[in-house]
Amino acid sequence: MIRLIKILFFAMLITPTLALTDKEQVLIFAAASTKNALDAVIKDYRTQKEIKILPVYASSATLAKQIELGAPADIFLSANVPWVDHLIEREIIQAPNTKTILRNRLVLITNDQTLPKIKELRSIDFSILLRNERVAMGMVSSVPAGIYSKQALVYLNQWDA
**Phi/psi at 26 (nearest 5 deg)?**
-125, 130
Tell if the pTM clears 0.85, that is, is over it. Answer: no
What pLDDT is recorded for position 62?
95
What pLDDT is recorded for position 74?
93
H, E, C per residue of the chain? CHHHHHHHHHHHHHHHHHHCCCCCEEEEEEEHHHHHHHHHHHHHHHCCCCCEEEEEEECHHHHHHHHHCCCCCCEEECCCHHHHHHHHHCCCCCHHHCCCCCCCCCCCCCCCCCCCCCCCHHHCCHHHHHCCCCCCCCCCCCCHHHHHHHHHHHHCCCCCC
Q: Are residues 153 and 93 in the same domain?
A: no
What pLDDT is recorded for position 77?
93
| pLDDT one digit per residue (tens) for the chain, 161 residues | 344 444 445 555 555 554 445 567 889 999 998 899 899 888 888 777 778 889 999 999 999 999 999 999 999 999 888 999 999 999 999 999 888 887 777 777 777 776 667 777 777 777 777 776 777 888 888 888 888 889 888 888 888 75
What is the rounded distance in angstroms from the CA atom of residue 82 to the CA atom of residue 69?
17
Q: Are residues 75 and 120 in the same domain?
A: no
What pLDDT is recorded for position 107?
78
Q: Are residues 115 and 91 in the same domain?
A: no
Q: Are residues 115 and 74 in the same domain?
A: no
Last residue of a domain, one of 78, 97, 116: 97
